[in-house]
Structure 1
Amino acid sequence: MKNLIITLLLIILLSILNYAQNTYNVKPGVKNNQIVLELKNISETEQISLTKPLQRRGLKHIIFSDNIEETIVLNPSETKEVVYRFDVDYNIGNAEADTIEFLITDNKSIYLTKQFILQYTLPTEYKLEQNYPNPFNPNTKIRYSLPQEARGEKQEVSLIVYDILGNKVTTLVNEQKEAGYYETKFNASQYASGVYIYRLQAGSFVSTKKMLLIK
């Protein structure tokens, strides 16, 4: 799955800044995405110290994994890249978008902002994914996606775990859900080691997979 890479060039001390919003399509669950900010000091004599870290705002389903330095120093005529790495959560339901806003300031004369909109596309087909981790002990996650059958309508969804003999072990999901991406956890601490089967039913769609509990 292709990761998202966004590159933004901000010219420090430039009097005109493009405030237009940038929109990018991204699929939930994609990891190791990047936003690269290229900061350039066009002054030939003045050093710039950005005394606050670049900030992110308005995040709902995005997890940043970077360690950005607290102070970014740009010498005269220096260009520096600042890389933000982030994962997109899978369990977002039918969320439409997230907005990332960057603030760059030296607490004096520089105050620049830039926004990115990450647009989430709804699934186009039913899908039940293999649990992760597998084998597991005692917790695992199960992901599934529901396409949009009719605008705004919910579907009856059930996700049930059975033992290898076909006996029902537990019901993880039993409710109406809108189209979107979902993740649920299965805690098997009270169950014996062995093969288990989980079955997703959403409307007329049915899918089953096996998972292995090892203690």
Structure 2
Amino acid sequence: MSLAYRYELESAEREVGPELMVYPNPSNDGKFSYTVETTALEDMHLMVVDVVGKQVYAATVKQINGQYKGSFDLSKYSDGLYIVRLQYGNQTYTRKIVIRR
């Protein structure tokens, strides 16, 4: 087992917090939906940045607990890779998304 593989396995086991799903990925029109499943009452801050770190979308949802569904529209932005950042409590979670027309 390589050192890199061990690190990934250990990191995955330690991850706690909300489950974040972003779909469809890749998107052929720049429109995405997301689902967050949480176990504690907290504010959620969702941000999407492009590959150079420029913020292209941001939203805050107050006091969510359980399952929350939302969507965002990046159709006016170029094809490419974007990073979704979810801040929940004192933790930050990321997912990569792609627009491919």
Give the TM-score band, short-chain normalised. 0.7 to 0.9
Distance (whole Å) between structure 2 residues aligned to residue 175 and residue 185 of structure 1: 12
Runs (5+) with no aligned partner, structure 1: 1-123, 149-153
Alignment size in residue pairs: 85
TM-score of the pair, normalised by structure 1: 0.37
Give the ranges of 4+ consecutive aligned residues of structure 1 lying more than 4 Å apart after TM superposition: none
2:38 paired with 1:142: no
State the 1:125 CA deviation.
Answer: 4.2
State the 1:205 CA deviation.
Answer: 1.9
Distance (whole Å) between structure 2 residues aligned to residue 201 and residue 188 of structure 1: 20
Aligned to 1:177: 63
State the 1:188 CA deviation.
Answer: 1.6
Distance (whole Å) between structure 1 residues aligned to residue 76 and residue 53 of structure 2: 18
**How many percent identity over aligned positions?**
29
What secondary structure is seen at the aligned counterpart in 1 of 2:23? coil
Q: Is contact 1:137-1:189 (8 Å) kept? A: no
Distance (whole Å) between structure 2 residues aligned to residue 208 and residue 177 of structure 1: 20
Runs (5+) with no aligned partner, structure 2: 1-15
State the 1:137 CA deviation.
Answer: 2.3
Q: Which residue type is aligned with residue 186 of structure 1?
A: F
| 1:55-204 to 2 correspondences below 5 Å | 125-129=17-21, 131-138=22-29, 139-148=31-40, 154-171=41-58, 173-204=59-90
TM-score of the pair, normalised by structure 2: 0.75
Aligned to 2:91: 205
Q: Which has the larger radius of gyration?
A: 1
Structure in which a larger fraction of residues adopt helix:
2
